[in-house]
Amino acid sequence: MKVSGTVVDIRARRFFKGEVEIRDKKIVSVREVLYAPEQYILPGFIDAHVHVESSMLVPSEFARLAVVHGTVATISDPHEIANVLGLDGVEYMIDNGSKVPFKFYFGAPSCVPATTFETAGATVTAEDIRKLFGRKEIRYLAEMMNWPGVLQRNPEVIEKIRLAHEFGKAVDGHAPGLRGEQARQYISAGITTDHECFTAEEALDKLNLGMKILIREGSAAKNFEALIGLMNEHYRNMMFCSDDKHPDGLEEGHINQLVARALRKGIDLFKVLQAACINPVEHYKLDVGLLRKGDPADFIVVKDLESFDVVQTFIDGELVASKGESKISRVPAAVINKFAIGPMAVSDFSISASDTKVRVIEALDGELITRESSGHALLQRGNLLSNKNEDILKIVVVNRYKTAPVAVSFIKNFGLKKGALVSSVAHDSHNIIALGVNDEVICKAVNAIIQAKGGVAVVDEVEEHVLPLPVAGLMSDRDGYEVAALYKKVDAKAKEFGSTLKSPFMTLSFMALLVIPALKLSDKGLFDGSEFRFADPLLK
């Protein structure tokens, strides 16, 4: 097979009319020709850090949507499913992903559970990490979010990093806001990347200390605008990633969107493409072709170098997408899960108090970080209630792995005027997280998810809109495009109920992410991520 067009030679920084010949999954020649169609041939895009689970799709379905946008490979951290099901979850991701023509490179989850301040469904030990590194599909130690453990030389943490070095694996970082001497100590432990920088100053500090920085633009966390100005100078040490991408966002685009945006910012084309195509291959030692003779035939054809609309995607010489249509066939997805609780009562969501003043989680649109503020809830017969007129809503986390008291606190900036939102996607331990305008609808929402054994939902006294996620309570076993359509419906309903956030369910899922400051809520209580300690939701 031969494919012709203008070849984009990223390393040589040149274009030429060329013909790519493919035989037995490899590129056997890339030669110059006199005439070629008006289209461009270049290496495929790579998402340098993503939790496939956050797309609500199993890997095989994620691949079907991603290839349409020119993505040929992902650096995939199965941290989410590992927190629910341990090594069985990691095996599930590897097995399902292997059934389709797409290059998934999985990491060994380094922090399961992420902290001791929450209840997860499993634990991944250093010995488990050793077992995982024995598998060819496991290419790196996934994000080491326990940066205090690194700085304090926690033996288990240090052993996991040591094992990565023993097996010749890269170690991914996760250290939001870490600067100065602490950042130097963290990086000197052998941690090589960070995707959590939310200011250019922080990213530049880490670049100067030898770390590679990933520009993240997902469904909730959006750091592109803050960091893209560094690329012209530091392109050799930067990559693009989505981290967490909901199905509707993945249907619309992927890394191709970031490439087009970077070019509109005036960043040099070849520098942008090096970050999007070459740097991940070299950093993680991937078996992904870079449009050279002898390489695997992984490349894309785009109609222009401005919009980066993808005409064709090839992986190992197979045409996997053409003109906006995925050519990857669906494969059956098994269902594995862990839910061990029964229905809740309205009284389970009460919080006793004699005063209305409360500590409030302040959610920020497009950010994983939160701020701490204060406000007044309503008080009725000794129970604090949501104060929707002040946009102070009750938020709860319910342990899904065993029967336990419900954690209750308060949050603002979701803007609901009626009803409740609920999700079993709640980073990192994936207990059930919900918020709403009164205890009755919160209870109804939580019970809808318990009955479905996972999902996201919008409910009020009359309506109930549920997207079931039966695979670990994180992913659907349905067609990816169908899931995207169903997700759009629940997202639209959340906004109809008053939410002003761009991605309310993604933001909700991160309100349990304790390793990102400032205030978050786990199943054990309100947590101060800046001080790494629990906080009282009531203010005296």
Q: What is the pLDDT of residue 137?
A: 93
Say if CB 182 and CB 189 are below 8 A apart: no
* Distance (Å, whole) CA 474 – CA 244: 12
Give me the chain's average pLDDT, please: 96
Report residue 5 as tokens. 């067009």
Question: Distance (Å, rounded) from C-alpha 88 to C-alpha 334?
Answer: 12
Cis peptide, bond prior to residue 518, ω within 30 of zero: yes
pTM of the model: 0.94
CA 482, distance to chain mean position in Å, is 20
218 touches 26 (CB < 8 A):
no
Q: What type of residue sits at position 521?
A: L
Q: Using alpha carbons only, what angle is made at residue 222 by residues 220 and 227, rounded to the nearest 5 degrees? A: 165
- In order along its 540 residues, the chain shows pLDDT tens digits of 999 999 999 999 999 999 999 999 999 999 999 999 999 999 999 999 999 999 999 999 999 999 999 999 999 999 999 999 999 999 999 999 999 999 999 999 999 998 899 999 999 999 999 999 999 999 999 999 999 899 999 999 999 999 999 999 999 999 988 999 999 999 999 999 999 998 999 999 999 999 999 999 987 778 999 999 999 999 999 999 999 999 999 999 999 999 999 999 999 999 999 999 999 999 999 999 999 999 999 999 999 999 999 999 999 999 999 999 999 999 999 999 999 999 999 999 999 999 999 999 999 997 888 999 999 999 999 999 999 999 999 999 999 999 999 999 999 999 999 999 999 999 989 999 999 999 999 999 999 999 999 999 999 999 999 999 999 999 999 999 999 999 999 999 999 999 999 989 989 999 999 988 899 999 999 999 888 899 999 997
Structure tokens that stand for 376 in this block = 């007044």
Distance of CA 163 to the CA centre of its chain: 25
- The C-alpha atoms of residue 282 and residue 139 are separated, in whole angstroms, by 12
Cis peptide before 59 (omega within 30 of 0): no
* Residue ranges of domains in the chain, CATH in brackets: 44-287 (3.20.20.140), 346-534 (no CATH)
Helix (H, G, I), strand (E, B) or coil at 58: coil
- 3-class secondary-structure state, position 50: strand
